[in-house]
Amino acid sequence: MTTSDRISLGSGRAGSVRPPLLSPRLRYVCRKVGGAAVSLVVVLMIGFILFQLMPSDPVTTLTRGRPTSQAQLIALRHQLGLDQPLWMRFIQFMVDTLKGDLGTSWQFQEPVSTLIMQRIGPTLLLTGSAALVSALVGVWLGIHSGWRKGSTFDRANSAVALGFWSVPTFWLGMILLIVFSSGFGPIPSIFPADGMITPGVSGFLPSLFDILKHLVLPCLTLVLVQYAQYVTIARSSIIDEMGSPYLLTARAKGLADALVRDRHAVPNAMLPTITMIFMQIGGLIGGAITVETVFSWPGLGYLTYQALKVPDLPLLQGTFVIFSMSVIVMNLFADLLYSIFDPRVGDE
């Protein structure tokens, strides 16, 4: 083999490009999943530190009103693991969490996972109903408001939505509770004040109707606060699409204005809204704490409030894990779903 042949053979090998081991779409998915896992670990670390800095003493709260000697207080503190160094408690917390062991509630003397499973159903019912109603109402109002930008309907809708968005959730819940549960002036008491089921109600249809009556006020509170975000996103997306050439072409073909909006503008404007929906679902689960507390709704939010009064650290950490996972997982779903509706995202 001559020298020129060796040079040409070496340059051919050096110039060859190996195909990537993972496709761009799979690399995008792996990057998002890895980021979600790192975010969960960081959030758990921050949550553990914050709970340890709480000024209340769990042992003093648990023994309040009971004659307890100093030796018993020391024994209880040892039983709860509060006499261990902070770094040992942190390692134990992280190891147990990764194994799926959320510990035992100090207040209820039951496994935290059992308490969460008992309360997660009411929370999902409340937050799921609120997310569905607020998304449907908010998107519809946002689309029609943005399509008629500057009209009386647009100004009134935007003002009302931003007004409710600015109201504190607990304050709005108490106002609705006073007006529609206790009765206010000519308005009689219409809906129950607290709980999820009226004691003594039996049968499928009566129980279902009773649950729906209890659900109205807490669900309405969340809807009034949350739907404004969908209005804002949907309105902005529609306004961005209104000057697009494809809409001018559709109008030039003689299509009706409503047809141009529903068939051409809305599908392209829904991408940011879909992302917002999944992000809000995760946030609603954790954001229902104040609403469940105001209406004594037996979900994870009210359970967290009960744990805060002690403070019941295992129960607080367990609910914090669920709230954190819900937000992170829903954000991950939003990123992955966005890449499906817009292939350009996953092909970068």
Q: Which pLDDT value is given to residue 7?
A: 46
DSSP H or E segment with residue 267: helix 266-287
Q: Is residue 3 part of a domain?
A: no
**pLDDT at residue 28 greater than cutoff 70:** yes
Q: Is residue 71 part of a domain?
A: no
**pLDDT at residue 118 greater than cutoff 70:** yes
**pLDDT at residue 260 greater than cutoff 70:** yes
Give the whole-angstrom CA distance, residue 133 versus residue 112: 31
- 132: tokens are 């569905």
Sign of CA dihedral 92, 98, 104, 107: positive
Give the whole-angstrom CA distance, residue 170 versus residue 295: 10
Q: Is residue 6 part of a domain?
A: no
**Residue 341 CB neighbours (<10 A):** 13
Q: Is residue 32 part of a domain?
A: yes
CATH number at residue 246: 1.10.3720.10
Distance of CA 293 to the CA centre of its chain: 17
Q: Is residue 8 part of a domain?
A: no
| pLDDT band (50, 70, 90) for residue 12 | very low
Give the whole-angstrom CA distance, residue 269 versus residue 146: 11
- Residue pair 274/341 in contact by the 8 Å Cβ criterion: yes
Give the whole-angstrom CA distance, residue 48 versus residue 92: 11
| pLDDT band (50, 70, 90) for residue 206 | confident
Give the whole-angstrom CA distance, residue 291 versus residue 123: 11
Residue for token digits 């309040």? 64
Q: Is residue 5 part of a domain?
A: no
Quote the number of domains for the chain.
1
Instruction: Decide: helix, strand or coil at residue 111.
Output: strand
Taking residues 309-336, report their average pLDDT.
83
Record the pTM: 0.76
Say how many CA atoms lie within 13 Å of 285 toward its Cβ.
Answer: 25
**pLDDT at residue 285 greater than cutoff 50:** yes
| pLDDT band (50, 70, 90) for residue 51 | confident
Q: Is residue 230 part of a domain?
A: yes
Domain span at residue 239 reads 24-55+102-346
| pLDDT band (50, 70, 90) for residue 4 | low
- Residue pair 301/121 in contact by the 8 Å Cβ criterion: no
What average pLDDT does the chain have? 80
Q: What is the pLDDT of residues 173-194, one digit of tens each?
A: 889 888 888 777 777 778 888 8
Q: Is residue 186 part of a domain?
A: yes
| pLDDT band (50, 70, 90) for residue 347 | low
Q: Which pLDDT value is given to residue 220?
A: 92
Sign of CA dihedral 313, 174, 192, 224: negative
Distance of CA 231 to the CA centre of its chain: 18
